[in-house]
Amino acid sequence: MSLSASTLPLLLLPIAVGLIGIVYVVVTALNILAQDAGNETMQRISGAIREGAQAFLAQQYRVLIVFAAAVAIVIAIFIRWQTAVCFIVGAFTSALAGFIGMNIATRANARTTAAAMKSLDAGLRVAFRSGSVMGMSVVSIGLLGLWLLFLAFGMGQLAVDALAGFSFGASSIALFARVGGGIYTKAADVGADLVGKVEAGIPEDDPRNPAVVADNVGDNVGDVAGMGADLYESYVGSIVAASAVAMVGAARGELSPTAVLLPFAIAAVGILAALIGTFLVRTRENATQADLLRTLRTAIWTASILIVPAIAILIALDGTIGWPIFFAVLLGLVAGLLIAYFTEFFTSYTERPTQGIALASRTGVATLIIEGLAVGMRSTLPPVVIIVVAVVGAYLLGFNNNVGGRSGGADSGLYAVALAAVGMLSTLGITLATDAYGPVADNAGGIAEMSHLPKEVRARTDALDSLGNTTAATGKGFAVGSAVLTALGLIAAYAQTSGLQAAELTLLDPRLLGALLIGAMLPFLFSAITMTAVGRAAMQIVEEVRRQFREIPGLKEGAPGARADYARCVAISTRSALREMVLPGVLAVAMPLVVGGVLGPAALAGLLVGATGSGFVLAVMMANAGGAWDNAKKYIEAGELGGKGSENHKAAVVGDTVGDPFKDTSGPSLNILIKLMSVVSLVFAPLFVQIGGLIR
């Protein structure tokens, strides 16, 4: 590509902004580490959580090294060695971003508790800054990694294969981090709740409960490292999809060559907007949940508003891309905000759906669970409508994008859809920060409880924890929406790379129809596997907690000198998670290879569409039902309907326990399933075209 006055800023911007993001991560991390870590007890508990989280990641990464090496060899043999190298780079950078975020999160928990001893605002700012380290690590490392690979390989099919390999590496880490971390955290959480709160009547995070440290470890490995890897995959996948479609479109003359650079430039200005938004997070003492939500919402909306003129400037400076593409990006950005809004509506305990679940507790557990499932199912309507409008609107804008002698067309329409995903994820730096903040606040509350700090400190950490529950639910909704748009972009790139024509993609083809039905089934099978994995692991935790209550004299009663064996529960959760994550991981990678190799490229497209459609709806239902059950319990604990210890609260605890694997294991893992299958198909597309399918 020849450089010009218009393309030079697009070439320099990603590197400059990526480095700025890295500097922010370093400075903010050092600032967090400089904060007061509290008394000796707080530091000891925080250290146990950190050691447990690091031990899990170390063992998980050892498994992943073997997996990555095996897959890289296969890619090198059947595709290209360059793609294999990029696969390794993608896996490494994803693991690096997750490690950085989790390492700071496990050091910020006690510091958040100590800050909450001073004021609510101080606690919020420490916790949020730790979340911003995760957010900015993901976007900065992801953008720099992809951009350097693009500069190394340039335009053409080699670059498409290389970038797809990077995305495949990130997806592989994301799958195992999300599934393994989700099984870990929910096994510990469910075990701690069933024996501690339900059977023994012990409050949450009580130091007498042997599973309480494993529960806090799980918050970090599941909702910091796991969520970070999930959105890292979406982030790089959206950029890869848009740039891959643009390369094909540019080769055909439908798109300007600079269209390849635009996804990187949008991601860069998004990082700058997110950085500005992070400095707006602050609150006052005695702030309500509505006040705290408004604070984070203001930061996110400010970043989203700032990026709009920045993208407009990029389009105007280039002059070869066309204003319809600007509005397609805007559609994606607005779609992300709307999905977050409706997710908050269906899961926040300040809103009627979650309050309705709490009211159902008056007639027992069964009605509470029924109401929660109904809320989850109803909650699928808004995001589906939003995504449909965004996809159709973006495609039409791109298809009719007439600029510089080019008349738009299918390639331009697909490019606009892929760019909508980039737009949705453009401010990920701050969106992920509000999500990764939650586990830090949750840990801070546990440390306050286990350290026997004054009630006003626990009240502040409870307020921060409740906010974290809502932002976590909102983040999951955003992650699902972005996963669907990213998967659609990757499917478009796969179709182009495979050379598929519209005439080949017909429901009259029994191979395609059969593969579509298999794809629609896969998310349900995948969810069943991950949910039963949580159940099996939780049973081991339950038995261990019961054993310790039975065999350690005075532990259940809180006698002086009676101490729980926390390390035993941490070890059980670690072993179970690592064992149980293998089957879902193999399934996600193997199915596209089997269908593409046996039934051919067109049938594989059907598999991807079926999996994306059913996976999207199922993931939304599970995430929102689980989040609503959780916050219905929090609503009762806040003093409504009898408060803690009441029959209503006991029913809500059971509902929350059922919802745990919904919202933190199976639901979020579906995001990665649909993206991973799409990117595996893109990477191995040349092989599938060569084979043509064994059944013809």
Q: What DSSP line would sit under 525-585, residue for residue? A: HHHHHHHHHHHHHHHHHHHHHHHHHHHSTTTTTT-TT----HHHHHHHHHHHHHHHTHHHH
Collapsing DSSP states into helix, strand and coil, what is residue 56? helix
Higher pLDDT pick, 9 / 435: 435
The 10s digit of each residue's pLDDT in 287-305 is 877 788 888 889 999 999 9
For residue 22, pLDDT beyond 90: yes
Nearest to 545 by CA among 568, 577, 529: 568
Mean pLDDT, rounded, of the chain:
89
Cα separations (Å) of 410 from 110, 255, 286, 320?
Answer: 54, 11, 55, 18
For residue 5, pLDDT beyond 60: no
pTM recorded for the entire structure:
0.90
H helices present in 253-288, as ranges: 262-278
Residue 562: the pLDDT is: 81
Residue 321: the pLDDT is: 85
Q: How far apart are CA 143 and CA 660, in angstroms?
A: 33
Residue 8: the pLDDT is: 64
Residue 364: the pLDDT is: 93
Angle at Cα 334 formed by Cα 333 and Cα 336, nearest 5°? 70
For residue 9, pLDDT beyond 70: no
For residue 199, pLDDT beyond 80: no
Collapsing DSSP states into helix, strand and coil, what is residue 350? coil
Q: What is the mean predicted confidence (pLDDT) over 512-532?
A: 95
Q: How far apart are CA 313 and CA 651, in angstroms?
A: 54
Cα separations (Å) of 585 from 122, 185, 579, 668?
Answer: 41, 18, 11, 14
Joined together, the tokens standing for residue 603 give 């049938």
| Residue % of the chain over a pLDDT of 90 | 46
Collapsing DSSP states into helix, strand and coil, what is residue 342? helix
Residue 300 has phi, psi (to 5 degrees) of -65, -45
Residues 479/227, Cβ–Cβ less than 8 Å? yes
Number of residues written out for the chain: 696
Q: How far apart are CA 384 and CA 112, in angstroms?
A: 37
Nearest to 534 by CA among 194, 220, 185, 183: 183
Joined together, the tokens standing for residue 3 give 């450089």
Query: In the beta sheet, which residues pair with residue 406?
Result: 403
Residue 406: the pLDDT is: 67
Residue 403 has phi, psi (to 5 degrees) of -150, 140
Joined together, the tokens standing for residue 306 give 């700032």
Q: How far apart are CA 235 and CA 428, in angstroms?
A: 8
| Residue % of the chain over a pLDDT of 70 | 97
For residue 3, pLDDT beyond 50: no
The 10s digit of each residue's pLDDT in 615-648 is 999 999 999 999 899 889 988 988 888 888 899 9
For residue 381, pLDDT beyond 90: yes
Q: How far apart are CA 273 and CA 304, in angstroms?
A: 7
Q: How far apart are CA 232 and CA 646, in angstroms?
A: 42
Lowest mean pLDDT among 45-49, 183-187, 666-670: 183-187
Residue 205: the pLDDT is: 72
Lowest mean pLDDT among 18-32, 85-99, 259-273, 626-640: 626-640
Residue with tokens 């090294």: 65
Neighbour tally for 18: CB within 10 Å: 24
DSSP summary character for residue 255: S
Q: What is the mean predicted confidence (pLDDT) over 62-69?
A: 90
Residues 290/312, Cβ–Cβ less than 8 Å? no
Residue 4: the pLDDT is: 52
User: DSSP labels for 371-429?
Assistant: HHHHHHHHTTHHHHHHHHHHHHHHHHHHHT--BTTB---HHHHHHHHHHHHHHHHTTHH
The 10s digit of each residue's pLDDT in 310-344 is 999 988 887 788 899 999 999 999 999 899 889 98
Q: How far apart are CA 446 and CA 110, in angstroms?
A: 10
Residues 342/379, Cβ–Cβ less than 8 Å? yes
| End-to-end Cα separation, the chain, in angstroms | 40
Residue 405: the pLDDT is: 63
For residue 494, pLDDT beyond 60: yes
Q: How far apart are CA 462 and CA 163, in angstroms?
A: 43
Residues 263/238, Cβ–Cβ less than 8 Å? yes
Residues 180/58, Cβ–Cβ less than 8 Å? no
Residues 348/406, Cβ–Cβ less than 8 Å? no
Collapsing DSSP states into helix, strand and coil, what is residue 590? helix
Lowest mean pLDDT among 118-127, 460-469, 541-550, 614-623: 460-469
Max Cα-Cα span within the chain: 83
Residues 161/132, Cβ–Cβ less than 8 Å? no
Query: Is 455 exposed, middle or buried, given 0-12, 13-18 or 19+ CB atoms closer than 10 A?
Result: exposed
The secondary structure element, H or E, covering residue 636 is helix 601-637
Among left, alpha and beta (phi > 0; psi -120 to 50; other), residue 406 is: beta
Q: What is the mean predicted confidence (pLDDT) over 439-445?
A: 89
